[in-house]
Amino acid sequence: MMPAKAIIVYQPGAADAVTQFFQDKLDVSLVAYSLPGVTGSGSDETRPAFRTGGLLLPRLSTVVANVTPRQFQLLKEHKGRGIIEAVYPDWVTTTPRLRSAKSWAKVPTPSPGALKAMSVSTNGPTGTGVKVAVLDSGFDPNRKGFGGPDVQLWSAVEDNSTADRYGHGTHCAGLVGGNVDDSGNRFGVAPDVNLYCCKVMYGQIGLGSALVLGIEGALARRVDVILIAQEFSAKAARRLDFDYWGQRAIDQCTLIIAAAGNKGPRGTVRLP
């Protein structure tokens, strides 16, 4: 069978040992994740590893690797017996489905009235000096209303694209750092924030492996806040190490904020 991506959590500080383990037991070479450029998902060295080998994410003590079913089973057999702490198959993430508009690009950003409803003062702090990473469907640089510092872009998907063809990532970026609309009204919570947008989804659908890579890239950029506005299945949400990855981020002075409650009857909340 063809290899598929797996996500492996290893003991903190055991990067050299887990690299040797993958080489000796699985014949899989790991490449340490390198900081992507502002329009790329990795260096020339790490891109092939993302597609066919494995990437070592030292800030999260996590590996994203392409493994066969037999290799995946071997990893599960070593879980809890040494340096391997958890093993997961890749999982699907989604963004909210629209009922009226075909794309989030058609959905207007919040009005000043919405900011007032959220008790956000338009005369208060504007986010100067704060770094926020939005991990979503990319960013549309042609969208109006981003008058603060330049938005830094990178990609965690295999085609290396940062373009936001669905519009949800740009919409979320507007919630955070939008400046003024065509009427001169402020619509973002923090218009002077330093925005970092990472594409981790193809339109409405994404993979957990790309999301983990996005978190690693955000930590490498030493952002203050990471925003994730995606949905996972209840099964995936129960079994994955979100608390662990969140704590690893906090240990590096970064807060992860994730959306909840996009699906289900009113009054219910789903992870993340």
Give the lowest-confidence range in 17-31, 71-85, 111-125, 183-197. 111-125
In whole angstroms, what is the distance from residue 220 CA to residue 129 CA?
A: 17
- pLDDT band for position 22 (50/70/90)? very high
Cα first-last separation, the chain: 31
Mean pLDDT for all residues in the chain = 80
| Highest mean pLDDT, choosing among 50-59, 75-84, 89-98 | 75-84
pLDDT tens readout for residues 226-244 = 999 887 766 666 666 788 8
pLDDT tens readout for residues 131-186 = 999 999 999 888 777 766 678 998 888 878 888 888 888 888 988 888 766 666 66
Predicted pLDDT of residue 38: 41
Pairing of strands 54-57, 30-32: parallel
In whole angstroms, what is the distance from residue 203 CA to residue 103 CA?
A: 9
Among 133, 156, 134, which residue's Cα sits nearest to residue 57?
156
Q: Which residue has the higher pLDDT, 101 or 98?
A: 98
Q: Which residue has the higher pLDDT, 148 or 76?
A: 76
Phi, psi of 259 (to 5 degrees): -75, 150
In whole angstroms, what is the distance from residue 35 CA to residue 16 CA?
A: 19
State pTM to two decimals.
Answer: 0.86
DSSP state of 109: P
**Overall average pLDDT of the 196-204 stretch:** 89
